[in-house]
């Protein structure tokens, strides 16, 4: 697939950029190829003696060379200059972008934060990153971290790469253009974008400001979960993931490369833009997904399903103890179960749950769009007392949840919070929702079962 490269005027990045319709390829996990100049991709090989247009061939490996074919991730890029053309890296201040382990120990308390939209925008995407919580470490190549961003400036003469983990960007307010080495992605509220580990990119604003979340995965690259007995069509379909076409800039100007490595930020000077890949082929690439395209599965008779039926993406770890980093999408759906308490019931899980409320109606008036909740392993949680009372009495009629968009993140490792999580984002007294529970224990009351009329 071809796409004529867009030359970019540096001055246009100093504010918001003019939105334009981008072209995408489809199919997560597929082998794809794209060229911004026709005739760039070599036939029958990846490293010809001379690449077309005077380019160089460079391999980007996301997994070990001998990984099984089904999970092997690599792409060949055909670029103007090799990535090795950069100055010496030097340490720079990490700011509020931290990497676990942190100073504070994991807490068994349920913790909730108010909307990220309440944060004052300040700086570009990288400058504004602040860490809420995390587990594991890049050195162990396990675990994850949760960051927030609040930006009012496009990245100018600056790119970012993260050697520690792949990044999932979740906008809450404002639209972003993520210009990567392998092409451009435009995302807004209700969409996600995933940038592979180590890939260079720049974030540009399509609106005056933007806030949202960034999830950093230190473990195995995310993949689509197996469907098992569901068959071939359900949840997130392969063709609904959008992958960029090649787009490059040939710009000779000073550019700062900010590189996250082993938990610290490093900076190296460039005399050119490294977003100069004219063509590429392979199955390692950035991608985006619109949550409205998720195909939810639910009960058609009784009881509430486990959240695993909402699995969108998975970074596996242990099949018994839990995932390294799983993403569940709760999107508009019908509730039709009869004789059933339909809200999620009270539960304690062996995994961490981190929930992001993106849009729609939520359980509990104290939480709104852009808010989030952390429940560590074995922390009991579930419906607030008021919701519990409503759920007990609600008629079992078919009901549609029209607008809800929630991302539920699960990880097997206990989550630590940061000092920023204590003071930088307003906390919500989430646990108060469980006050005032009414005991109804009656040993002599009649037994009520699935097919009884009472509740």
Q: Which residue numbers are catalytic?
A: 304
- Name the residue among 156, 229, 238, 244 with its Cα closest to residue 199: 244
- Name the residue among 251, 196, 450 with its Cα closest to residue 341: 450
**Dihedrals phi, psi of 13, to nearest 5 degrees:** -85, -5
Residue 27 backbone class (left: φ over 0; alpha: ψ -120 to 50; beta: rest)? left
Around Cβ 81, how many Cβ atoms within 10 Å? 18
Q: How far apart are CA 384 and CA 362, in angstroms?
A: 11
- Name the residue among 58, 3, 52 with its Cα closest to residue 25: 3
Task: 224-227: list long-range contacts, CB under 8 Å, 24+ apart.
Answer: 224/28, 224/29, 224/313, 224/314, 225/311, 225/312, 225/313, 225/314, 225/326
Residues paired with residue 6 on neighbouring β-strands, in sequence order = none
DSSP 223: B
Around Cβ 272, how many Cβ atoms within 10 Å? 17
Strands annotated E in 9-105: 24-26, 32-35, 56-61, 74-79, 90-91
Residues 6+ apart with CB under 8 A from 415: 106, 133, 134, 135, 352, 354, 374, 376
Tokens representing residue 352 in the block? 């961490």
Tell whether omega for the bond before 101 is within 30 degrees of 0, i.e. cis.
yes
């Amino acid at each position: 697939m071809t796409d004529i490269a867009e030359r970019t005027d540096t001055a246009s990045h100093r504010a918001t950029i003019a939105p334009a319709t981008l072209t995408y390829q489809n199919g997560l996990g597929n082998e794809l190829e794209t060229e911004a100049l026709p005739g760039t991709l070599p036939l029958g090989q990846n490293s010809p003696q001379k690449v077309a247009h005077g380019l160089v061939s460079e391999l980007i490996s996301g997994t070990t060379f001998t990984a099984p074919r089904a999970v092997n991730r690599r792409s060949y890029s055909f670029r103007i200059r090799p990535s090795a053309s950069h100055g010496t890296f030097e340490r720079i201040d990490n700011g509020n972008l931290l990497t676990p382990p942190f100073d504070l120990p994991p807490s068994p308390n349920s913790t909730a934060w108010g909307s990220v939209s309440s944060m004052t925008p300040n700086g570009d995407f990288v400058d504004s990153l602040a860490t809420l919580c995390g587990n594991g470490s890049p050195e162990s190549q396990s675990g994850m971290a949760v960051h927030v961003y609040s930006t009012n400036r496009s990245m100018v003469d600056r790119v970012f790469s993260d050697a520690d983990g792949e990044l999932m960007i979740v906008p809450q307010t404002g639209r972003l253009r993520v210009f990567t080495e392998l092409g451009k992605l435009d995302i807004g509220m209700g969409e996600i974008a995933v940038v592979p580990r180590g890939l260079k990119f720049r974030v540009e604003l399509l609106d005056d400001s933007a806030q949202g979340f960034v999830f950093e995965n230190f473990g195995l690259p995310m993949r689509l979960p197996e469907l098992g007995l569901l068959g071939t069509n359900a949840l997130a379909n392969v063709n609904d993931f959008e992958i960029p076409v090649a787009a490059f800039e040939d710009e000779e100007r000073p550019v700062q490369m900010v590189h996250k490595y082993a938990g610290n930020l490093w900076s190296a000077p460039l005399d050119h833009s490294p977003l100069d890949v004219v063509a590429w082929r392979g199955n390692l690439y950035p991608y985006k997904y619109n949550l409205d395209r998720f195909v939810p599965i639910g009960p058609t008779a009784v009881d509430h399903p486990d959240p695993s039926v909402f699995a969108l993406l998975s970074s596996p770890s242990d099949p018994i103890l839990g995932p390294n980093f799983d993403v569940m999408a709760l999107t508009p759906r019908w509730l039709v179960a009869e004789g059933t308490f339909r809200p999620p019931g009270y539960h304690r899980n062996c995994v961490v749950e981190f929930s992001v409320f993106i849009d729609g109606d939520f359980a509990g008036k104290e939480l709104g769009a852009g808010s989030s909740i952390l429940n560590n392993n074995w922390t009991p949680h579930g419906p607030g007392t008021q919701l519990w009372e409503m759920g007990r009495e609600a008629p079992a009629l078919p009901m549609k949840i029209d607008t809800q968009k929630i991302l539920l993140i699960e990880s097997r490792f206990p989550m630590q919070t940061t000092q920023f999580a204590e003071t930088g984002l307003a906390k919500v007294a989430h646990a108060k929702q469980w006050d005032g529970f009414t005991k109804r224990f009656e040993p002599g009351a009649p037994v009520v079962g699935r097919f009884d009329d009472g509740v």
